[in-house]
Amino acid sequence: MDIQSIKNRFGIIGNSPALNHALNTAVQVANTDLSVLIAGESGVGKEAFSNIIHALSNRKHNPFIAVNCGAIPEGTIDSELFGHEKGSFTGAVDSRKGYFETVNGGTIFLDEIGEMPLGTQARLLRVLETGEFIRVGSSKVQKTDVRVIAASNRDLLERAQNGKFREDLYYRLSTVPIRVPALRDRKEDIPLLFRKFASDFSERYKTLSVQLDAGAQQMLVNYTWPGNVRELKNIAEQISVLSTDKSVTADMFQKFLPNRDNSRSLALIPATSASPSASGQDFNSTTERDILYKLFFDLKKDMNEMKKMMLDMAHAQGYTPPGMNENFIQSYSNEPVQVSQPAYNNTSTPILITPKEQQHHEEHEEVEETLLLSDKEKEMIVKALKKHKSRRRDAANELGISERTLYRKIKEYDIKE
């Protein structure tokens, strides 16, 4: 089967040499049982290559399953992959087959394999080398015949050198490596993909397809597309939905591109007015800023309530100064107020409360904290990673953010684990 037929069958768009080379490799390795490691950035279509390999293999009539290793909690991934016996852990009310047992004779695609725990990596290595596995809580060795296709958007060899990925597993998985090129490395394919996505949208919703003028096309090609094909598809659909003019100029196109230079801006952007984003990263970043701002505002509110409580206590003990009423407590007078000491204090030095100066000082401190928001965020991430001994999944749960967002923040702040 030639490459063009493969592209037509699986909906692959593009003619770049790097893409054709990756497809050729996938076709050649499909009829074997060799392990395949698909490398490439997020959004380039690594799962599509796993589908191609399985569909062209001798296992095509047997089961195929895709497993996202980064989405399964560390405590349950062994059970998900290899199964467990009844009573092997809390909640194991029945025995359960794992994926390597249910997909026997077929293909299993392990996406984001770089996030797999080291203990599970050892179990996987045994499956790859001997075809044997043991259910969690069992001592019985079982056999399976499963072809493994793995994928990662990270450098597994670098992780292996840092002790975060088994080096022997890396070499066992990468019997045949396939690198799917990033979209910025196949610029000649970008206009073709955009037209395909815009055409699909117009056909689905019975509308006219958008057209880009020369300036917009140049901007389309020059944009870096960090989200790759997934981001390009989202942008094409956004333009198809929101553009009032079906002939899109460069100025119009610019409005749909996320402003990544200001991704760490401290401006609090409401969800209803957030700029369109092709990925969830901008949304997640905005959401995290919202949470941090809320924490700071709640802290300020608690401080004001504490001040009010202290003034109420002063009033209750009978040394409230003239003019200190509820209006004073809520809004603070513009004039300095002298507060007499209680009777049991043998000093007569008055206490001066200067609301304007105090309020100004508080506002000044609030601005400083806001300007250092990124440092606070980095500090919390470092503390969470240290607390959980660099287990990113646990750290992400502690911080209340997704693992993908945590990985991006670690890279963004250059945090060394």
Q: Give the architecture (CATH level 2) of 185-257.
A: Orthogonal Bundle (1.10)
pLDDT at 317: 64
Neighbours of 395 (CB within 10 A): 24
pLDDT at 378: 84
Q: What is the pLDDT of residues 229-245, one digit of tens each?
A: 999 999 999 999 998 88
User: Minimal CA–CA distance to 69: which of 124, 127, 142?
Assistant: 124
152 φ, ψ (degrees, to nearest 5): -155, 145
pLDDT at 297: 65
Mean pLDDT over 387-397 rounds to 84
In the chain, domain spans: 3-181, 185-257, 266-366, 372-417
273 φ, ψ (degrees, to nearest 5): -115, 10
| pLDDT surpasses 50 at 348 | no
Topology, domain 372-417 = Arc Repressor Mutant, subunit A (1.10.10)
Q: What is the pLDDT of residues 261-272, one digit of tens each?
A: 444 333 333 443
136 φ, ψ (degrees, to nearest 5): -65, 130
Q: CATH for 3-181?
A: 3.40.50.300
d(CA 244, CA 137): 61
Q: What is the pLDDT of residues 126-176, one digit of tens each?
A: 999 999 999 999 999 999 999 999 999 999 999 999 999 999 999 999 999
Mean pLDDT over 309-335 rounds to 55
Task: Please state, rounded to an integer, the average pLDDT across all residues of the chain.
Answer: 81
